[in-house]
Structure 1
Amino acid sequence: MTKHSSTLRETIEEMIAMGELQPGQHLDETELATRFGVSRTPIRETLIQLESMGLVVIRPRRGAIVAELGPQQLVEMFEVMSELEATCGRLAARRMTPEEQHVLLAAHEACKAAVEAGEPDEYYYRNEAFHEAIYAGSHNSFLFEQTRGLYRRLRPYRRLQLRVRNRIGHSYSEHEGVVQAILAGDGDKAAELLRSHVMIQGQRFSDLMASLPQLTKSAA
């Protein structure tokens, strides 16, 4: 993969992850080629790469669309996400350096500022930095890449969750417990709290399902 094609893939991946390209939206190769000032060939190659990541579905004779996740797929992916994050937390509690703990605390404080400002989108970005600090603190590069990859796949849905009433306040409170467990070196507690923090079930699942039309309303 050339540097240019890698950049193109990352750019379109980011547009999908942040909802600029909506689930179910048709991806017109000519329009994308014009937008990025390239030929259709690198666009087609990029869409194939994104299909292999589960972000795009390429349909014979009908072109590509942004992948949509059904309720069962979402539950299954969040289930795996919760276990990956739990493992990251368990390892981070054992392996984080003092410098990495400072990074985690700074990310936690940035989340607090976003909560106090009542800014769910800002909180989303700070929340991502918070979780990545834990992934990095696991000191397991394979786990880091796998967890971050699934996080990116679920970004539109995790972002949507934060728009549910009072969710960012609850999320920050859950972060506080995670931070304290990691700083105390309690890997089992950190894992338990992260698993619960990420998993969607019960009311949280119902809230997410009710919010999904907001994510797809412009895709029609």
Structure 2
Amino acid sequence: MEETEWVPTVDDLRVKLCYICREEERYDSPEEPPRAWTHPCNCTLVAHESCLLQWIIAAQQTPDRAANALKCPQCGAEYELESRNPPILKFLDAWNKGMSRVGRVVTVSIAGVVFIAIGSGLYAVCTSYGAFAMREFIGKDLYDQIMTDDPAKWPWYAFINLPLIPLSLINSRGGFFLNISPLVPLLSGWPYAGPVSDPAQNGFLAR
């Protein structure tokens, strides 16, 4: 009958030194009450199970140590944790982690939707006010020549310049940024553009 080779374990050590708490236990003077020891990798480090678990938890909660929380500090071997929880607790733990990730995704998505909604609303208000201010400044007849009341006929740069008009007015009152006249976005671009509407439709051609 072939004899199996005897492999020593951490319990066979005559002197055990926990590399975390630095407490020593000798074979002839065991601790009271006894604490479980573990030898989690193939190097010479041994530790109390409770000390090692506390060390791993503390490392996982520290950003600069979290990546190496489950690695031996001496040889770099990966630690493998065995859970003694019943299957239902493992399932609930996995469910809790999954729902936490889903919750973060939902929170970010809601924040993005709210930001887009508020931004779109502010843009629409600024554009409408810019069109109103331009109409009041240049008059209805010229406004109908350049813009018309139909946004579908506006040139593309109108959607950039018009929202800048109320922002320029606010800046001119508060002086938050450079002292830019509110007329700059009103006059830039349009003097060089052709009319959008048909002059004949607005009574500008002789009959």
The answer, yes or no, to whether TM exceeds 0.5 is no
Question: TM-score range, shorter-chain basis?
Answer: under 0.3
Q: Report which structure shows greater RCO (CA 8 Å, sep ≥6).
A: 1
TM-score by length of 1: 0.25
TM-score by length of 2: 0.26
More helix by share: 1
